[in-house]
Amino acid sequence: MRARIKRRQTIRNLEIVAVVAVIAVSLGVGFYYALKVSLNDPLTGTPVPSKVYDSLYQASIQTPYGTTDSAYLKDLHSITGSPYVTTGKPILVYVGAEYCPYCAVQRWSLIMALMRFGNFTNLEYLTSGEDNYATFTFNASTYQSSYVVFQPYEVYDNSNRPLQTLPTDYSSAFTQYGQSSFPFLNFNDEYYIPGAIVDPQSLGTNNQTQIISSIQAGGSMGSQIKQAANVITAAICETTGDNPTSVCSQPGITSITTTLTSYAPPSTNSGSELLVNNVSFTMFPGFLISGRDYSSWN
C-alpha cells in the first residue's frame, strides 16, 4: 500500500514539474520575441515626429526622380473595372497587414509616392512582426491631397490578429487580382499591383533613419525604394489625369507613363493588353502575369 501511494506521489510530482516547465518555456519564448522586437525598434507604436516627416518628404520630392529599370514595371497591371471616385478624385486602395514583411518594404515606396501628391499625419513607427523590418503603419494615419484619395486597410495587426475590415466594395478586386495576399494596391480600379515591388530583404537591419539616408544618398537600398515609388507615382498620375504637372511631368515619371499609355483594349476578348518594352501581355479577368503570395517570395 505504501509503495502504491509513493508511486502516485512521484507521478503527481512529475506532472507538476512538466506543467511548470511548459509554462516556463512559453514565457521564455514570449519574452525572447518581445525583447527581440523592442531591441530592433523600441519606437514601434510611437508617432513619427515632424523632422522625420520632413526628411522623408524631402527625399520623396528630390529631383530628378531618376530613371526606373523596366524590371520594376512587371508587377503593374491594367484592368477595366468601375473606377473608384469620391469628391471628384480617384481612390487608391491599399490592403496590407502590420506583421507582413512585404508590406513593410512596400509602405516605404508608397509613402514616398503619396507625399508627392499630399500630406500624411499620424503615421506611427512599426517593426514588422515577421523578419523585423523597420517601416510604418497606416492604421491610425490620415492623408490629405487635392488630387487623390488614399484609403489604407491594415487588415491584421503585428500579432496576426484582425485589425481593420476591408469594405466589400474593395474585396472582390483584392480576391480576384490580389489573390487575397498582402500587400495589394488598387489604383482607382484602373491599375493594380499584387505583392511588393521590392524584395523586403533589401531593408536588412536598418532603422528608419538609415533607410531615409540611403534614399537621400542614392544608395542601393534607397534606389530600389525610389524606383518602386516612381512606378506607384506613374500609376497615380494615370488616374489623376497627370496632375499635378509638377510631379507627373517629371522625366522619371513620363518615361513610365508613356509606356503605360501604350495600353490598347483588345477587340477579340474581354481581357486587357498592356504594352511594356514592346512586349504585349494579354490579361484576362482573374489572370495574373506575375501575381504571387507574399509568403512565397523567391
Task: Report pLDDT digits (tens) over 77-91.
Answer: 998 878 777 788 999
SS3 173: helix
For residue 261, what pLDDT band results from cuts at 50, 70 and 90? Answer: low
**What is the longest distance spanned by two Cα atoms in the chain?**
94
pLDDT for 88 equals: 87
In total, the chain counts a number of residues equal to 298
Mean pLDDT of the 215-236 span: 97
How far apart CA 74 and CA 64 sit, in angstroms, is 23
The pLDDT, as a whole number, for residue 275 is 30
Provide the mean pLDDT of the chain: 80
Helix, strand, or coil here: 261?
A: coil
Q: Which of 41-55, 127-141, 235-249 has the lowest mean pLDDT?
A: 41-55
Report the pLDDT value the prediction gives residue 1, as an integer from 0 to 100.
Answer: 53
Q: Where is average pLDDT lowest: 21-30, 61-70, 245-254?
A: 21-30
Q: Classify residue 87 as exposed, middle or buried by CB count within 10 Å of its CB (0-12, 13-18, 19+).
A: exposed
C-alpha cell at 73: 514595371
Q: How far are the Cα atoms of 63, 110, 208, 210, 278 from residue 59, in angstroms, in the given order?
A: 9, 13, 13, 12, 32
pLDDT band at 41 (very low <50, low <70, confident <90, very high): low
pTM: 0.76
Res. 129: pLDDT tops 70: yes
